Amino acid sequence: MLQFTWASRSTFLHSLTLIACLVLLLPGSVFAANDTADTAIKLDAAKNSAGGSLIGSTGGVYRYYHFLYQGGNVQVLVTMTFQPGFGKVGPRQVGFNVYGPNNLIWVGSPLGTSQDVSTVQVPVASSAPFDALVQVFNYTPGIQVSYNLWVSGLVGGSQSGPVVTNNATPNTAAVITTDNVLIDGTLIGKWGGTFQYFTLSNPGHGVPLAVTFNASPLYNGQGYAYGFNLYRDDPNSQVTLAATSAPISQDASSITFGASVSQDAPAIYQLQIYSYWPGVPVSYHLRITGLGGPIPVKNGGHS
């Protein structure tokens, strides 16, 4: 039978105390409850966001989330912001993948970096419903990144489709305040450009203002004849270009553009969608997330 002297017992208890202290000093991300696919955290329309931190390794460190996709080819937008951004961690070292049935994989695409906060995003769409698994990853050895993940467009969410008219100039921009807003419309282009404008408010605190613009038919010339620009109203009443649309997905009949911005301070943005395709009606589906906060009365805008 093993016996402890008072001296050995004291040493043993001291060792236990030291181990307990070392455990408390380990990063919280080591003990994350959702570090396997089996322990993925559920996201839904009522709770569509989550966040955390990851200390990377060459073999990859992961966090997992899942959500029920509703099917019907409804587009659900998955967006992640993280800091430090690509400038420190390098390209493709931090991001996420979305896994569906039959080996379907959607890979988050970089949308840009603002104030060392990078954004990756991907639209998810399929004809059949399924349980989507989101894998957040960090392959940068020893670098800790903080991230926020959003899934917008899920069934039951606060989404609306306002009827927008007479917003062809900055001064008549449609004011949009509802998060997860969905807007359908048509642009008939011309050589000098046809435009529609929307005024948006973002609450700051790193919440990404994300815009996706799905348009059809596909342009039959070089480059892109339609898309959008996002302008920010700065405190000194100057308007600066904050983001320009970039293609993120395409099928046989349509193309989707996206852009995202985020910053600590609340901000007012003006969204300009455009078409330079003369005489051709372009149907679009516009999705905007990350809205919130009051929108003050504006004088003027970008033209």
Mean local confidence (pLDDT), 25-39: 69
Read off the tokens for 112: 């840009």
pLDDT band at 133 (very low <50, low <70, confident <90, very high): very high
Residue that is last in its domain, among 120, 152, 184: 152
Give percent above pLDDT 70 in the chain.
82
Is 221 a residue whose pLDDT tops 60?
yes
State whether 241 and 285 are in the same domain.
yes
∠ at Cα 284 (210, 121), nearest 5°?
25
**170 SS3 class:** helix
Whether 22 shows a pLDDT value over 50: the answer reads no
Gap between the Cα atoms of 86 and 189, Å rounded: 36
Cα separation, 171 vs 196, whole angstroms? 11
Domain count, the chain: 2
Same domain, yes or no: 198 and 285: yes
DSSP per-residue codes, 95-144: EEEEE-STT-EEEPEEEEEETTEEEEEEEE--SS-EEEEEEEEE-STT-E
- Are residues 36 and 131 part of one domain? yes
Which one of 93, 126, 152 terminates a domain?
Answer: 152
Do residues 69 and 123 lie in contact, with contact meaning Cβ atoms separated by under 8 Å? no
65 and 147, same domain (yes or no): yes
pLDDT tens digits for range 239-295: 899 999 999 888 888 999 999 888 888 889 999 999 999 999 999 988 888 887 655
**Domain that residue 284 falls in:** 170-289
Q: Is residue 1 part of a domain?
A: no
Q: Quick one: how far is CA 79 from the chain centroid?
A: 2
Instruction: Say if CB 49 and CB 149 are below 8 A apart.
Output: yes
Establish if 3 belongs to a structural domain.
no
Pairing of strands 181-188, 281-289: antiparallel
Which has the closest alpha carbon to 288: 129, 47, 79? Answer: 79
Q: Averaged over 215-239, what is the pLDDT?
A: 90
Is residue 132's pLDDT more than 50? yes
Domain CATH code at residue 240 = 2.60.120.380
pLDDT tens per residue, range 102-131: 888 999 988 888 778 888 988 888 888 899
pLDDT band at 9 (very low <50, low <70, confident <90, very high): very low
Check pLDDT > 50 for residue 16: no
The tens digit of pLDDT for each residue in 53-63 reads 999 999 999 99
Q: Are 126 and 100 in contact (CB under 8 A)?
A: yes
Considering only CA atoms, which of 92, 91, 95, 93 is closest in space to residue 82?
A: 95
Same domain, residue pair 144 and 90: yes
The reply to whether 73 and 136 lie within a common domain is yes
198 close to 235: Cβ distance less than 8 angstroms: no
Q: Does 294 fall in a domain?
A: no
| 211, burial (CB in 10 Å: exposed 0-12, middle 13-18, buried 19+) | buried
Q: Summarize pLDDT for 174-219 with one digit per residue, the tens.
A: 988 766 677 888 999 999 999 999 999 888 877 888 899 999 999 9
Is the pLDDT at 159 greater than 80? The verdict is no
The counts of H helices and E strands in the chain are: 2, 20
The reply to whether 44 and 131 lie within a common domain is yes
Helix (H, G, I), strand (E, B) or coil at 86: helix
| Average pLDDT value for the chain | 82
